[in-house]
């Protein structure tokens, strides 16, 4: 995904894709060996919460159930009926499955407030289910995106009867929802409208023309980002409250686990995410924090799967993703894998064969799954590529270089970013049904950014893990935003995005405290928030690094004034003259993890 691709910030869309033309979950085809059993329905089950609010559950049970069984539930803001296929699958495989609407959505009582009540409510649901005559006291959870967050939020409360969680594409408060690295996305308002009121709002949510027109209206008129809810016409949401917390502060941290919480976790966990999952940052934040703070026993029971999937693909994998086609091995039957996991953790069955080690990751290019003890042990070497140029690196035809040689005395590269330049909007309008707008094309047209290429690779090379990019930069404004993207460029010129990152200059040292830029000062920027990826880079392919200031309808625009970004408008705009240094005193470089 490109940094200007809206689904990079798909955030909390579960099985839905934000601009794919439909907000209906992908249909799950029945497995060839799915048992042809009858299922019984319990409609309108009222689950009491500790504050008297009742949440509505639709419960599915095996028709031939003779004795209490483990129960699985999903807690969703997307209306329980969305996951009928999942409920039927597990009920046919001898589990009780409950679809529960979060408070304030569907048929549940109360008021919905994003990420506020799910932990306590999840605890109460677990303990209520465990006491029902058709449940044997063992309870698990299923779901992704917001329902992945729900699983972690429930686990934070440590309900005694929760046996396992299987969070997929989990949004993490303040990490990737509702902002990424303290930069908000226009999609936030789209999603909040999707979950406004008690209905599904699926048609409005998926109306591409409407949302692009509203995002463009804000962009063209140079209005403050906070005005987006007024332009959209929905001022009933928590949008303003969220904008009031632009950093990773106590508001967001209070919704996620503390280091002490991770130490208390003692149940098996299966984390699932994808190379192109818009919530990968959140899913991996939970995983890495648990690896850091959890006990050795608990960490040994936490498994991770990273497939070549987009956000929805973490529930229903597809061979074709973002214009790429992967091998047959990439299409894992996740229903069957979930069943195997639940059988192992709640029924004493064997561990699923797929889980050969605690980390399973797919290598595009090689088209095969590989395994490791943990993410940190995957790569066994690194390669450092230094930025170099003759002072000109502004497009793909006259680019800078990524070289193994350390720099000497070189002239810095320069580019200009004018936040009042609205010419890029034309790209979004002309590619309205495509959304694969090429930011390198925008570079050629508008000169906002720098491009660097490596020499061709001598051999096929597996690159797996997290990239690290360090750049020495000076500005003549107190703040701006940076986006960096790394691609594989194949011998025929085909471009395959590998990973990307974004940074607001004032948060270059910390996502908690801002420090505005002193104009003219050369500062070190370390981009360490890239998406995890794996790929076998083909022999004769090159790497391309693109550094820009994002100028797009899909992100909160930074007008470079140094004030509260969500409140700034065109009248605060300042043109940024950016200088990127790559000399002996200021070695800018890209570090890549190699698997030999």
CB 155 within 8 A of CB 265: yes
Q: Taking the mean position of all CA atoms in its chain, how far away is CA 417?
A: 27
d(CA 70, CA 74): 14
Could you report the per-residue pLDDT of 55-71, keeping only the tens digit for each? 999 999 999 999 999 99
- Which run of H or E residues covers position 499? strand 495-504
What average pLDDT score do residues 20-24 get? Answer: 33
Please count the other Cβ atoms lying within 10 Å of the Cβ belonging to residue 572.
18
Contact between residue 433 and residue 208 where contact means Cβ atoms under 8 Å apart: yes
Mean pLDDT of 296-319: 96
pLDDT digits (tens, 9 = 90+) for 528-585: 999 999 999 999 999 999 999 999 999 999 999 999 999 999 999 999 999 999 999 9
Q: Which of 98, 181, 112 is nearest to 146 (CA)?
A: 112
Using DSSP's 3-state secondary structure scheme, residue 464 falls into: strand
* pTM to 2 decimal places: 0.92
Q: What is the mean pLDDT of the chain?
A: 91
User: Taking the CB of residue 31, how many other CB atoms lie within 10 A of it?
Assistant: 14
Q: Give helix 84-92 / helix 334-346 axis angle, nearest 10°.
A: 50
pLDDT tens column, 137-154 = 999 999 999 999 999 999
pLDDT of residue 22: 30
> Which residues does 26 contact at the CB level (< 8 Å), separation at least 6?
15, 312, 315, 316, 318
Helix (H) or strand (E) holding 291, with range, is helix 280-293
Q: Tell whether the model's pLDDT for residue 229 goes beyond 80.
A: yes
3-state SS assignment for residue 361: strand
Distance of CA 160 to CAs 155, 399, 535, Å? 10, 59, 41
Task: Using CA atoms of 59, 65, 69, 74 in order, give the dihedral in degrees to the nearest 10.
Answer: -20
Distances from the Cα of 326 to the Cα of 70, 125, 291, 330, 495, angstroms: 36, 39, 30, 6, 16
Neighbour count for residue 584 (Cβ, 10 Å) = 10
Confidence at residue 346, expressed as pLDDT on a 0 to 100 scale: 98
Rounded (10°) CA dihedral 290, 296, 299, 300: 170
The residue written with tokens 């008690």 in the block is: 198
Q: Are 363 and 536 within 8 A, CB to CB?
A: yes
Query: How far is it, in rounded angstroms, from Cα 195 to Cα 121?
Result: 18
Q: How many CB atoms lie within 10 A of CB 587?
A: 17
What are the structural domains of the chain?
Answer: 32-173+255-376 (3.40.50.1820), 381-595 (2.60.120.260)
């Amino acid at each position: 995904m490109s940094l200007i691709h809206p689904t990079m910030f798909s955030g909390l869309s579960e099985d839905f894709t934000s601009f794919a033309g439909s907000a209906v979950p992908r249909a799950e085809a029945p497995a060839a060996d799915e048992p042809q059993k009858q299922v019984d329905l319990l409609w309108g089950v009222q689950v009491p919460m500790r504050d008297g609010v009742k949440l509505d559950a639709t419960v599915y049970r095996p028709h031939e159930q003779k004795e209490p069984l483990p129960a699985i539930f999903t807690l969703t803001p997307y209306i329980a009926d969305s996951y009928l296929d999942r409920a039927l699958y597990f009920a046919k495989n001898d589990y009780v499955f409950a679809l529960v609407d979060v408070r304030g959505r569907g048929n549940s009582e109360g008021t919905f407030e994003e990420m506020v009540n799910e932990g306590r409510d999840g605890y109460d649901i677990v303990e209520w289910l465990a006491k029902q005559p058709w449940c044997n006291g063992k309870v698990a959870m299923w779901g992704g995106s917001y329902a992945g967050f729900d699983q972690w939020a429930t686990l934070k409360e440590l309900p005694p009867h929760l046996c396992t969680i299987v969070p997929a594409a989990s949004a993490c408060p303040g990490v990737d929802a509702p902002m990424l690295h303290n930069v908000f996305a226009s999609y936030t308002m789209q999603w909040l409208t999707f979950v406004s009121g008690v209905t599904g709002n699926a048609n409005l949510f998926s109306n591409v023309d409407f949302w692009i027109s509203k995002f463009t209206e804000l962009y063209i008129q140079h209005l403050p980002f906070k005005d987006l809810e007024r332009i959209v016409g929905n001022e009933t949401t928590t949008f303003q409250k969220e904008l009031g917390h632009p950093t990773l502060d106590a508001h967001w941290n209070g919704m996620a686990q503390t280091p002490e919480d991770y130490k208390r976790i003692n149940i098996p966990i299966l984390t699932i995410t994808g190379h192109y999952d818009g919530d990968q940052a959140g899913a991996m934040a939970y995983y890495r924090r648990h690896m850091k703070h959890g006990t050795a026993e608990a960490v040994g029971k936490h498994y991770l799967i990273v497939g070549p999937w987009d956000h929805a693909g973490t529930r229903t994998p597809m061979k074709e993703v973002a214009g790429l086609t992967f091998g047959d091995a990439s299409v894992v039957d996740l229903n069957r894998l979930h069943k195997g996991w639940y059988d192992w953790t709640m029924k004493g069955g064997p561990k699923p064969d797929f889980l050969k080690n605690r980390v399973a990751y797919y290598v595009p290019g090689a088209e095969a799954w590989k395994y490791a003890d943990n993410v940190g042990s995957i790569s066994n070497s690194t390669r450092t590529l230094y930025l170099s140029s003759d002072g000109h690196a502004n497009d793909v035809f006259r680019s800078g270089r990524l070289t193994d040689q350390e720099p000497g005395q070189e002239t810095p590269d320069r580019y200009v970013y004018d936040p009042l330049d609205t010419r890029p909007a034309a790209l979004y309008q002309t590619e309205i049904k495509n959304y694969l707008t090429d930011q390198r094309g925008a570079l050629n047209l508008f000169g906002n950014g720098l491009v660097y290429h490596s020499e061709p690779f001598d051999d096929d090379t597996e690159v797996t893990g997290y990239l690290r990019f360090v750049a020495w930069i000076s500005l003549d404004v107190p703040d701006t935003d940076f986006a960096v993207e790394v691609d594989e460029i194949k011998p025929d010129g085909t471009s395959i995005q590998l990973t990307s990152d974004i940074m607001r200059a004032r948060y270059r040292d910390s996502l908690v405290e801002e420090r505005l830029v002193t104009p003219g000062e050369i500062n070190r920027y370390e981009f360490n928030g890239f998406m995890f990826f794996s790929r076998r880079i083909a022999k004769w392919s090159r790497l391309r690094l693109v550094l820009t200031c994002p100028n797009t309808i899909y992100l909160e625009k930074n007008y470079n004034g140094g004030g509260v970004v969500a409140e700034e408008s065109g009248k605060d705009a300042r043109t940024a003259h950016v200088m990127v240094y790559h000399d002996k005193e200021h070695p800018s470089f890209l570090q890549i993890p190699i698997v030999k």
